[in-house]
Amino acid sequence: MAGLGGLRHDHGALHLAPRLPRRLTRLVFRVLQGGARAEVDVRPGAVTYRLVAGDAVRLTHHGEPVHLTADEPVAERGVPDLAEHPAPAQPPGRPPGFDAT
């Protein structure tokens, strides 16, 4: 499912950039690549990738390559900080109808 966990599938490669929304403490899902399956466990500040079936899974985590094999079935990676951006300005006389924070 594209978008879940920052997942993108491009030319046979899996690219993930998972982040947790503020109110969630954990998100776990599995991805299938060929005949192999990997579990993605997202927690605040860290992601664990685990090979659960098959020979190997290749993917990228926030642009960095991750290769899971039977010899090295687990990889843990940090989650990079988001760049701070100023809040968008509202048109004069048009304040937002709710606080999204």
Digit-coded pLDDT (tens) for 4-61: 667 777 777 888 888 888 888 999 999 888 889 999 999 998 999 999 998 999 988 9
Nearest residue to 49 (alpha-carbon basis) of 26, 66, 32: 66
Query: What integer pLDDT is reported at residue 77 of this predicted model?
Result: 92
Round to whole Å and give the CA distance between 43 and 94: 37
Strand partners, 37: 32, 53
Query: What integer pLDDT is reported at residue 26 of this predicted model?
Result: 93
- The more confidently predicted of residues 45 and 1 is 45
Q: Which residue segments constitute the domains of the chain, with CATH numbers given? A: 4-78 (2.60.420.10)
The CA R_g of the chain, rounded to the nearest whole Å, is: 17
Query: What integer pLDDT is reported at residue 94 of this predicted model?
Result: 76
pLDDT at 81 over 90: no
